């Protein structure tokens, strides 16, 4: 029996990034216990990178402010959705 629980998804975006009308407008606000995917700094943004492949899933990332700013241009090119720590769309 495993004591590790499945992580709760940050936001359910299954299949919604294909349509502008159904894009989520908010994400789950970040908590003090959340950890960045990029480094040991606390996360400042939730980033959802849509897949360009059919039937593939989008990727949710928690990014610190420093790495978000470094990656902002690439994330924009990929059509990523970015949410501030309070869950509101940036
Ligand atoms: Zn970072």
54-60 long-range contacts (CB < 8 A, ≥24 apart) are: 57/14, 58/13, 58/17, 60/9, 60/10, 60/11, 60/13
Alpha carbon of 21 to ligand 1 centroid (Å):
31
Which of 28-37, 38-47, 76-85 has the lowest average pLDDT? 28-37
Boundaries of every domain in the chain: 43-51+65-90
pLDDT on residue 10: 57
Highest mean pLDDT among 27-36, 52-61, 69-78: 69-78
pLDDT tens by residue, 74-84: 999 999 999 99
Alpha carbon of 62 to ligand 1 centroid (Å):
9
Predicted confidence (pLDDT) at residue 8 exceeds the cutoff of 60? no
Alpha carbon of 78 to ligand 1 centroid (Å):
19
Alpha carbon of 69 to ligand 1 centroid (Å):
10
């Amino acid at each position: 029996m495993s004591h590790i629980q499945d992580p709760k998804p940050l936001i359910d975006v299954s299949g919604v990034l294909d349509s502008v009308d159904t894009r989520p407008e908010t994400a789950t606000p970040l908590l003090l216990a959340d950890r960045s995917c990029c480094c040991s700094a606390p996360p400042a943004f939730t980033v959802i990178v849509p897949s360009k492949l059919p039937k593939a899933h989008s990727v949710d990332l928690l990014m610190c402010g420093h790495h978000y700013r470094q990656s902002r241009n690439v994330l924009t090119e990929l059509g990523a959705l970015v949410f501030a720590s309070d869950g509101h769309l940036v």
